[in-house]
């Protein structure tokens, strides 16, 4: 089984979109796939029950073949360490790792982090550390537009400090990139040692809190 940890340069950068498209791509290729969002913050209430918005979105664009590992859920839309503290608990990392280890009989386990790569689960564990502990391959989701070079280069060197060699997916690529965006892609390609494994176009009307399965084209990734 390959475990892919989908992290990003920031919150709202396209990790859930990428995770959903990745799961669907791999299912279409005939693989058995599981999706796991270890900690969901900013959970929404639906029919009196708290739901993981990221998990619902990924399910909404995949077939029923997708296996879903239930996340730990908190209400506050914040970093996991804070969302948990607000509910008077500390996140149990070993329990999360065990949930991932318990997954069997799939070819791919897609794990989506929370926020950016340095965001903490608690005082001693963040997303990069969790990826390392999982023994997962790191996929870093980056933006395409102005500002992405600083975020992406910092995230790559942070990953390296955990001996993680990130592959890159760039989300929100303009159909006709201007000079800045075209250069961003070239610079990220060079800095990452040519490890861009996919790009996702700028999708009009995309909202990952809409679970109707609309607005998501087929995208292939070079995993």
Ligand X SMILES: Nc1ncnc2c1ncn2[C@@H]1O[C@H](COP(=O)(O)OP(=O)(O)OP(=O)(O)O)[C@@H](O)[C@H]1O
Give the binding site for ligand X (CB under 6 A). 8, 11-17, 54, 115, 171-172, 200, 202-203, 206-208
Task: Output 16 or 167, the one with its CB closest to Mg ion.
Answer: 16
Spatial CA neighbour of 139 closest among 199, 54, 81, 80: 199
Task: Calculate the alpha carbon distances from 90 to 26, 64, 74, 104, 194 in Å.
Answer: 34, 33, 11, 27, 39
Q: Which is nearer to Mg ion, 3 or 18 (CB)?
A: 18
Which DSSP helix (H) or strand (E) runs through 40? Answer: strand 39-40
Q: Is 186 a catalytic residue?
A: no
Give yes or no for residue 148 binding Mg ion (CB under 5 A).
no
Give the contacts of 176 (CB within 8 A, at least 6 positions apart).
Answer: none
Name the burial class of residue 97, with classes exposed (0-12), middle (13-18) and buried (19+) by CB atoms within 10 angstroms of its CB: middle
Cα separation, 214 vs 207, whole angstroms: 9
The 24-63 site mask, x for binding Mg ion (CB under 5 A), equals ------------------------------x---------
CB of 30 to ligand X, least distance (A): 25
For the CB of residue 41, give the shortest distance to Mg ion in the complex, in Å.
10
**Strand order in 67-69's β-sheet?**
67-69, 33-36, 108-112, 2-8, 137-143, 167-173, 196-201
16 touches Mg ion (CB under 5 A): yes
Question: What does 171 interact with, of Mg ion, ligand X, none (CB < 5 to 8 A by kind)?
Answer: ligand X
Residue 127, classed as helix, strand or coil, is: helix
Q: Of the listed pieces 12-20, 22-30, 81-89, 138-146, which binds Mg ion according to CB under 5 A? A: 12-20
The CB-of-93 to Mg ion minimum distance in angstroms stands at 19
Stretch binding Mg ion (CB under 5 A), from 7-15, 159-167, 169-177, 190-198: 7-15
Active-site entry in 37, 49, 133, 191: 37
What is the helix (H) or strand (E) element at residue 8, kind and residue range? strand 2-8
Q: Which is nearer to ligand X, 32 or 42 (CB)?
A: 42
Q: Determine the Cα–Cα distance for residues 5 and 137; give it in Å rounded to an integer.
A: 6
| Residues known to be catalytic | 37
The residues that touch Mg ion, with contacts defined as CB under 5 A, are: 15-16, 54
């Amino acid at each position: 089984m390959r475990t892919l940890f989908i992290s990003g340069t920031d919150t709202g950068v396209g990790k859930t979109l990428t995770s959903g498209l990745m799961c669907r791509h791999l299912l279409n290729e005939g693989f058995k796939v599981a999706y796991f969002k270890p900690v969901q913050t900013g959970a929404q209430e639906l029919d009196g029950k708290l739901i993981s918005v990221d998990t619902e979105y990924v399910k909404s664009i995949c077939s029923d073949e997708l296996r879903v590992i239930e996340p730990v859920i908190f209400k506050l839309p914040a970093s996991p360490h804070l969302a948990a503290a607000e509910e008077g608990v500390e996140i149990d990392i070993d329990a999360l790792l065990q949930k991932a280890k318990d997954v069997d009989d799939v070819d791919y386990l897609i794990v989506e982090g929370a926020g950016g790569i340095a965001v903490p689960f608690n005082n001693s564990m963040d997303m990069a550390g969790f990826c390392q502990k999982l023994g997962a391959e790191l996929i870093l989701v980056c933006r395409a537009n102005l500002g992405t070079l600083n975020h992406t280069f910092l995230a790559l060197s942070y990953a390296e400090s955990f001996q993680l060699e990130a592959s890159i997916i760039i989300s929100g690529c303009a159909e006709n990139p201007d000079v800045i965006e075209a250069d961003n892609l070239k610079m990220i390609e060079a800095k990452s040692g040519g490890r861009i494994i996919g790009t996702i176009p700028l999708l009009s009307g995309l909202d990952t809190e809409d679970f109707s399965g609309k607005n998501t084209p087929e995208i292939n990734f070079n995993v």
